[in-house]
C-alpha cells in the first residue's frame, strides 16, 4: 500500500514513512493510492471479532509494511478493557466502543456508540492511544527519538499526553494557555507525573500558544536538531484508527450485510467523519454520513450550498462544545480530493484559493470553481447545526427520557441526528466525550454535576507539575532544548 499527496507532488511513501510526519512536502495530505476494499465474506467473519482483532484486520489493509504479528500485538495492547475502562454502568467495557439503543420511534432507531471511555474521556483516545504504541514501536526499531511539540486548549493535548506517557524514546512538550482551561482539563494534564511529559502554561491565550508552535515549525534547523514532531489531526494513522469503530458500529447494529446504517458525527476538523467516509469508500454499507456542527458551521454551510468559506478569528465563536470551535476543517482536503475524483491539480488550486481568498465554490454556475456539489449525494453526506440552547434542550431531554447524561458535543450530534431519522435505517450517533469533561454546561442544563467515572472524583486535588512561561518563543525553545535529553 502506497500513500500519495492530495496535491500530487510528493513521492509515494509507505505507512511507516508517513507515520511520524504531518503534511506532505507539497503541502497536501496523505491518502492511499487506492482505498482497500472489504468483501461481504470478510464482513461476515468480522462480526464476531473482538475490537482488537477487528482493529488488526482493518489496520493490516493500510499498514502493509508492518509485520502482521507486530500489528496484532499493538492492536491488543491498545484496545483493552483496562484502557477503555470508563464505561457507564450498564455498558460492557470489553466492547471498547459499546453501542446502545437510545430511542425507537415510528420505525426509526437512534443509537449511541460510546467512543469516549478511554483515559481522557474523549474520542481522541481511540486514535491517539494507537499512535502512542505505533510511535514507540517504530522509534525502537530505528533506534530513534521523537519530541512531540504542540499546543492545546483541552482535548487533543491531554489525549496526546496520556497516549505518550511512559513511552520509550518519546517526550511531549505541550503548551496551553495559563489558567484558561477548565479545572478538570487542567488537572487531567498537569497531574501527570511522568518524567517524559512537560506541561508549559503560557501567559497568554490559545492563539499565542499556536503562534509559538508555528514559529518553531518554521525553524527547520531547530526542528531537525531537536527531533521535533507533532500529533495533529491530519496524521494519517489517526484517521485510520478511527475507521475501525465505523466497522464496529455497523457490525453491532446489523445482522446481515444487506442492511445499511447511517452515522451522525459531531464535527470540527473533519477527522472523525473523514474516517467514516473512508470506511464507506472501502465498501462498508453506510447510507448517510451526517456532519453535525455547532455555531461554527463551515462544514454545514458547505454540505448545504457547495461553498467552502473559512472563518476569520473574529467570526469563530467560543461555544459550549469547544472542541468543535474551528474556523477551517484541516482534514477536509482529503474528501475534496475524492469528490474531484483524485484531480490533484484542481485540489492544489482550490486549497491555494483557500489561503489567498478564504474559500472556494463548487456549486456550479458562473464564477464557481466547479460543479461537483451535485455529486455530494453519492458520497452520503448530509449536515446540520446546533446552538447552545439546542445543546441544553437535548441534554435535558435525553436525561429525562432515558436517564443518560450526554456531553455537549454529543448533544450537537443527537440534535442533528433526529432531523435525519429514516425508518428502517438505524442512525448511530458517535458519542465523542463524557459529560464530566464539560461539567459547567451540564450544571446549566440539569442543575447538578455530571457523574464522574471512578478514579476521577478528586483529580483537581492531585499535585500538579507544570512550568509557567511568558509567550516568548526564545524561552520556549531554550526550555525544549534543555529537556530533550539529546
Residues marked as catalytic: 124
Instruction: For ligand PLP, give the closer residue by CB, 233 or 262.
Output: 233
Rg of the chain in Å (alpha carbons): 21
Of the candidate residues 66, 110, 122, 134, the single one contacting ligand PLP (CB under 6 A): 122
**What is the SS3 assignment for 262?**
strand
Going by their DSSP bridges, the two strands 228-229 and 261-266 should be labelled as unpaired
Which residue in 108, 233, 296, 484 binds ligand PLP (CB under 6 A)? 233
Q: How far is CA 367 from CA 348, 363, 370, 435, in A?
A: 18, 10, 9, 45
CB of 383 to ligand PLP, least distance (A): 12
Binding part of the chain for ligand PLP, among 171-179, 264-272, 353-361, 472-480 by CB under 6 A, reads: 264-272
432 touches ligand PLP (CB under 6 A): yes
- Which of 137, 173, 250, 270 is in the footprint of ligand PLP by CB under 6 A? 270
The verdict on 266 binding ligand PLP (CB under 6 A) reads: yes
Binding of ligand PLP by 155 (CB under 6 A): yes
Alpha-carbon torsion angle 272, 100, 323, 247, nearest 10: -10
d(CA 420, CA 399): 21
Cα separations in angstroms, 192 against 209, 210, 215, 312, 481? 20, 22, 27, 35, 21
Asked if 435 is part of the footprint of ligand PLP (rule: CB under 6 A), the reply reads: no
Residue pair 333/274 in contact by the 8 Å Cβ criterion:
no
Nearer to ligand PLP, 5 or 410 (CB): 410
Question: Taking contact as CB under 6 A, which single stretch among the options 69-77, 163-171, 178-186, 269-277 is the one that binds ligand PLP?
Answer: 269-277
Ramachandran region of residue 169, left (φ > 0), alpha (ψ -120 to 50) or beta?
left
Cell numbers given for 21:
510526519
Q: DSSP characters for 28-73?
A: --EEESS-----HHHHHHHTT--HHHHHHHHHHHH-TTS-HHHHHH
CB of 87 to ligand PLP, least distance (A): 17
Cell of 407: 456531553
Number of residues that bind ligand PLP (CB under 6 A): 16
Binding segment (CB under 6 A) for ligand PLP, from list 20-28, 101-109, 139-147, 267-275: 267-275
Q: Does 302 bind ligand PLP (CB under 6 A)?
A: no
Q: Does 124 bind ligand PLP (CB under 6 A)?
A: yes
* Residue closer to ligand PLP, measured from CB, 118 or 370: 118
Q: Is 323 in the site for ligand PLP (CB under 6 A)?
A: yes
- Quote the least distance from Cβ 270 to ligand PLP, whole Å: 5
Question: Is 409 one of the binding residues for ligand PLP (CB under 6 A)?
Answer: yes
Q: How far apart are CA 337 and CA 64, in angstroms?
A: 23
Backbone angles phi, psi at 427, to 5 degrees: -110, 120
**From 148, 251, 324, 395, residue interacting with ligand PLP (rule: CB under 6 A):** 324
Where along the sequence are the contacts to ligand PLP (CB under 6 A)? 122, 124, 155, 233, 266-272, 323-324, 409, 432-433
Amino acid at each position: 500500500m502506497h500513500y500519495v499527496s492530495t496535491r500530487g507532488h510528493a513521492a509515494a511513501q509507505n505507512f511507516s514513512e508517513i507515520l511520524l510526519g504531518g503534511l506532505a512536502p507539497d503541502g497536501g495530505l496523505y491518502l492511499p493510492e487506492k482505498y482497500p476494499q472489504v468483501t461481504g465474506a470478510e464482513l461476515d467473519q468480522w462480526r464476531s471479532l473482538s475490537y482488537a482483532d477487528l482493529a488488526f484486520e482493518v489496520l493490516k489493509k493500510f499498514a502493509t509494511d508492518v509485520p502482521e504479528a507486530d500489528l496484532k500485538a499493538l492492536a491488543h495492547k491498545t484496545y483493552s478493557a483496562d484502557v477503555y475502562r470508563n464505561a457507564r454502568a450498564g455498558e460492557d467495557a470489553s466492547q471498547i466502543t459499546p453501542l446502545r439503543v437510545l430511542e425507537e420511534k415510528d420505525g426509526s432507531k437512534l443509537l449511541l456508540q460510546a467512543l469516549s471511555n478511554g483515559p481522557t474521556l474523549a474520542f481522541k483516545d481511540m486514535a491517539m492511544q494507537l499512535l502512542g504504541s505505533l510511535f514507540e514501536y517504530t522509534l525502537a526499531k530505528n533506534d530513534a527519538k521523537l519530541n512531540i511539540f504542540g499546543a492545546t486548549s483541552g482535548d487533543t493535548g491531554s489525549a496526546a499526553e496520556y497516549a505518550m506517557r511512559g513511552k520509550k524514546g518519546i517526550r511531549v512538550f505541550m503548551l496551553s494557555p495559563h489558567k484558561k482551561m477548565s479545572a478538570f482539563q487542567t488537572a487531567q494534564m498537569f497531574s501527570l507525573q511522568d518524567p517524559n511529559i512537560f506541561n508549559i502554561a503560557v501567559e497568554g491565550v490559545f492563539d499565542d500558544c499556536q503562534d509559538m508552535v508555528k514559529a518553531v515549525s518554521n525553524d527547520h534547523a531547530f526542528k531537525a536538531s531537536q527531533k521535533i514532531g507533532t500529533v495533529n489531526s491530519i496524521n494519517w494513522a489517526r484517521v485510520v484508527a478511527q475507521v475501525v469503530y465505523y466497522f464496529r458500529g455497523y457490525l453491532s447494529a446489523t445482522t446481515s450485510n444487506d442492511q445499511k446504517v447511517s452515522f451522525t458525527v459531531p464535527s470540527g476538523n473533519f477527522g472523525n467523519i473523514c474516517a467514516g467516509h473512508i470506511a464507506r469508500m472501502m465498501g462498508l454499507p453506510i447510507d448517510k454520513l451526517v456532519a453535525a456542527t455547532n455555531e461554527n458551521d463551515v462544514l454545514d454551510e458547505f454540505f448545504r450550498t457547495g461553498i467552502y468559506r473559512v472563518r476569520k478569528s473574529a467570526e469563530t465563536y467560543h461555544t459550549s462544545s469547544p472542541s468543535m470551535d474551528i474556523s477551517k476543517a484541516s482534514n477536509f482536503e482529503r474528501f475534496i480530493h475524492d469528490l474531484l475524483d483524485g484531480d490533484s491539480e484542481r485540489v492544489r488550486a482550490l486549497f491555494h484559493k483557500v489561503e489567498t481568498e478564504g474559500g472556494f465554490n463548487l456549486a456550479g454556475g458562473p464564477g464557481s470553481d466547479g460543479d461537483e456539489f451535485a455529486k455530494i449525494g453519492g458520497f452520503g453526506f448530509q449536515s446540520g447545526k446546533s446552538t447552545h440552547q439546542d445543546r441544553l434542550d437535548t441534554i435535558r431531554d435525553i436525561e429525562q427520557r432515558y436517564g443518560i447524561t450526554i456531553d455537549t458535543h454529543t448533544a450537537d450530534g443527537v440534535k442533528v441526528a433526529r432531523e435525519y431519522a429514516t425508518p428502517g435505517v438505524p442512525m448511530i450517533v458517535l458519542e465523542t466525550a463524557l459529560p464530566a469533561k464539560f461539567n459547567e454546561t451540564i450544571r446549566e442544563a440539569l442543575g447538578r454535576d455530571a457523574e464522574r467515572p471512578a478514579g476521577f472524583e478528586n483529580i483537581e486535588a492531585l499535585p500538579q507539575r507544570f512550568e509557567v512561561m511568558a509567550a516568548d518563543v526564545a524561552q520556549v525553545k531554550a526550555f525544549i532544548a534543555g529537556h530533550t535529553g539529546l
